[in-house]
Amino acid sequence: MEYDGSSFSGWQRQKDKVTVQGEVESGLSKILSQNVNLISSGRTDAGVHARHQVANFKTDRNIPPRDIKKALNSFLPKDVRIKSAQSVSLDFHARYSAKSKIYSYNIFTGEYISPFKARYFWHLSSDLDFYKMNKELKYILGRHDFINFQAKGSSVKDTERTISSVFLKKYGNYYNVFIEADGFLYKMVRFIVGTLIEVGRGKFEPKRLKSLLQPEGELRRGSVAPARGLFLWKVKY
């Protein structure tokens, strides 16, 4: 599925809040006439978007997946769409079967940003040093302890992750950061981007990302980047 997260309090079902999981489960329950519990590839925070979220559920109803997809899209709000549906083996798990995930982050620099793009970009009025930022990203490749890029409140004990691919694209005033890893900590991508931006602005010296990966590294990182620029780009199985 894909969704615009602007109007949602994130993916995970929450009492008295509008969430993507809640909307999809509600639609499925109407179609299947039974309660449905979705298992997703991972949670996205409030305001974060997805181009390729994956979720699975079990049902004893004999309805073809293509019909479930069509019916579900008729129940869902316009900012959520099911792209495809298929039957999978009983041992498939949307989260634990995933081999890696790719997140992308959008940045725009300039005096103003079009209102048609403001929901999906972090708008910065000052320009950025593309060369410095591109060079900086190489330091997070490989397996590292990303505890300094985890937001408070997380109960995760193992904070090591492997980043297999990372790159920065620039075309005009538009910047796109892509990061692929075997998993991500709470707000990890947004802290990486926030620190990267401070390097691109010249507020942090080069190798700031590298220093944050050291056990005795300096803990002063960049601010967390806004949710609106973040997309769950793809989940690989």
Q: Which pLDDT score, from 0 to 100, does residue 156 have?
A: 87
Residue among 101, 107, 40 at smallest CA distance from 236: 101
How many Cβ atoms are within 10 Å of 166's Cβ, its own excluded? 18
Q: Is 206 exposed, middle or buried (0-12, 13-18, 19+ CB in 10 A)?
A: middle
- Pairing mode, if any, of strands 100-109 and 230-236? antiparallel
Q: Is 81 exposed, middle or buried (0-12, 13-18, 19+ CB in 10 A)?
A: middle
- Residue 16 designated active-site: no
The residue assigned the tokens 């796109």 is: 176
Helix pair angle (20-32, 65-75), 10° resolution: 120
Whether the pLDDT of residue 208 is over 80: the answer is: yes
Whether the pLDDT of residue 30 is over 60: the answer is: yes
**Percent residues over pLDDT 90 in the chain:** 92
Dist. CA 174–CA 197, nearest whole Å: 13
Helix pair angle (188-200, 130-137), 10° resolution: 140
Tell me the two tokens of residue 235.
Answer: 């989940």
Whether the pLDDT of residue 219 is over 80: the answer is: no
Tell me the two tokens of residue 96.
Answer: 């634990």
How many Cβ atoms are within 10 Å of 72's Cβ, its own excluded? 21
N-to-C CA span, the chain? 15
Dist. CA 26–CA 235, nearest whole Å: 24
Q: Which pLDDT score, from 0 to 100, does residue 101 have?
A: 98
Domains delineated in the chain? 2-81 (3.30.70.580), 100-236 (3.30.70.660)
Provide the sign of the torsion angle of the four alpha carbons 215, 152, 183, 173, taken in this order: negative
Q: Which pLDDT score, from 0 to 100, does residue 218 have?
A: 56
Whether the pLDDT of residue 94 is over 90: the answer is: yes
Whether the pLDDT of residue 105 is over 90: the answer is: yes
Q: Which pLDDT score, from 0 to 100, does residue 64 have?
A: 96
- Pairing mode, if any, of strands 174-181 and 160-171? antiparallel
CA 94 vs CA 19, 34, 165, 193, 195: distances in Å: 18, 21, 21, 26, 30
Q: Which pLDDT score, from 0 to 100, does residue 157 have?
A: 87
Tell me the two tokens of residue 75.
Answer: 């129940």
Q: Is 73 exposed, middle or buried (0-12, 13-18, 19+ CB in 10 A)?
A: middle
At 236, the pLDDT band (50, 70, 90 cuts) reads: very high
Q: What is the mean pLDDT of residues 150-165?
A: 89
Choosing from 4, 45, 79, 158, which is the catalytic residue? 45
At 199, the pLDDT band (50, 70, 90 cuts) reads: very high
